């Protein structure tokens, strides 16, 4: 049996100075052995005949495209030797104007609208929704350590039952809020105004869009250029600069970024981690 790995070794190193040690140093309590990605626990053959929801075995829960914040995109590009196919895909998105924005890599409005209006049996079954970072040959993630928050905190089965489910939900909320705070602070340092950031955030989590947006995975050239605020001549360099800026942040700066609400999310997550610990004793 493989020895459990500390949580800090499953996420980008840039988070290590920012997140609480109690979370980073976890091992056994954050292992979910029932969520078997190598043999999908949600596949029909691994479910009772009465199961109402199943996933196609070769798609699993990877019928989803994650949001990757700007500093994480930069981290992946700086460390591209570890995930060359993922880095190559990012460059293709930039070249094709496929929603590679100053806030990071965002799924197209076309995908967002389809996914947010999905039917009960769409997730795990629609081949055309398969994550662009998914590697079919190995049936694994092509950007694993730099994958999105949703991907790193989603499990279909929990070793500790409800306590595990509640913990992962709170961790997902905490990580999502944290990465957004870091992303926005980086943009402020690179001279993006609150109005510009607000306009960029309008391209996230869309339930509807214009006819043009819903019929294409690309952005119009003029709009793409305007949103980039003068950085469009070296987008890859911009993402790497975001990574560099985020790498300068310390815990005290991070606490200011996330504010009272973020600290409340952190406390809730740590309480649920303690509850998880008690359940598994």
Q: Which residue has the tokens 């560099």?
A: 244
Which of the two residues, 56 and 29, has the higher pLDDT score? 56
| Banded model confidence at residue 277, pLDDT cuts 50, 70, 90 | confident
Q: How high does pLDDT run on average in the chain? A: 94
Q: Which two tokens stand for residue 257?
A: 């970024």
Task: Tell me what pLDDT residue 278 has.
Answer: 85
pLDDT value, residue 281: 62
- For residue 186, what pLDDT is reported? 98
Judge contact between 205 and 99, C-beta under 8 A. no
The count of C-alpha atoms lying within 13 angstroms of the C-alpha of 23, restricted to the half-sphere facing its C-beta, is 22
CA distance 180 to 199: 15
Report the pLDDT averaged over residues 141-148: 92
pLDDT in tens, 57-104: 999 999 999 999 999 999 999 999 999 999 999 999 999 999 999 999
| pLDDT, position 233 | 95
- The rounded percent of the chain whose pLDDT value lies above 90 is 86
What phi and psi, each to the nearest 5 degrees, are found at residue 212? Answer: -65, -45
- Of the candidates 194, 238, 265, 248, the one whose C-alpha atom is nearest the C-alpha of residue 94 is 238
d(CA 111, CA 207): 10
On whether the CB atoms of residues 186 and 242 are closer than 8 A, the answer is yes
Query: Does residue 12 surpass a pLDDT of 80?
Result: yes
Pairing mode, strands 68-69 and 104-105: antiparallel
DSSP string, 150-175: HHHH--SS-TTTHHHHHHHHHHHHHH
- For 197-210, the pLDDT digits (tens) are 999 999 999 999 99
Q: Which of 70, 2, 60 has the alpha carbon at shortest distance from 35?
A: 60
pLDDT of residue 1 exceeding 50: no
Pick 96 or 29 by higher pLDDT.
Answer: 96
Query: Using one digit for the tens of pLDDT, what is the confidence trace for 210-250?
Result: 999 999 889 999 999 999 999 999 999 999 999 999 999 99
């Amino acid at each position: 049996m493989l020895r459990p790995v500390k949580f800090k070794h499953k996420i980008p190193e840039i988070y290590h100075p920012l997140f609480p040690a109690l979370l980073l140093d976890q091992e056994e309590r954050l292992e979910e052995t029932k969520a078997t990605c190598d043999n999908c626990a949600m596949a029909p053959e691994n479910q009772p005949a009465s199961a109402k929801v199943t996933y196609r075995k070769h798609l699993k829960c990877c019928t989803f495209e994650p949001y990757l914040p700007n500093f994480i995109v930069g981290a992946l590009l700086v460390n591209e030797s570890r995930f060359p196919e993922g880095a190559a895909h990012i460059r293709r998105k930039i070249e094709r104007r496929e929603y590679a924005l100053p806030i990071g890599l965002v799924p197209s409005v076309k995908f967002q609208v389809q996914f947010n209006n999905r039917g009960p049996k769409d997730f795990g079954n629609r081949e055309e929704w398969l994550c662009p970072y998914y590697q079919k040959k190995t049936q694994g993630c092509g950007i694993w350590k730099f994958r999105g928050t949703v991907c790193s905190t989603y499990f279909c089965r929990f070793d500790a039952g409800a306590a595990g489910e509640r913990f992962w939900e709170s961790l997902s909320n905490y990580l999502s809020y944290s990465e957004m705070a870091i992303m926005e602070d980086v943009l402020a340092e690179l001279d993006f105004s609150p109005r510009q950031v607000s306009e960029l955030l309008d391209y996230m989590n869309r339930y509807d869009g214009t006819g043009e947006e819903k019929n294409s995975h690309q952005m119009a050239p003029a709009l793409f250029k305007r949103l980039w605020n003068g950085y469009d001549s070296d987008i890859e360099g911009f993402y790497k600069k975001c990574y560099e800026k985020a790498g300068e942040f310390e815990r005290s700066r991070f606490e200011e970024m996330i504010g009272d609400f973020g600290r409340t999310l952190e406390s809730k997550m740590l309480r649920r981690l303690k509850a998880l610990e008690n359940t598994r004793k």
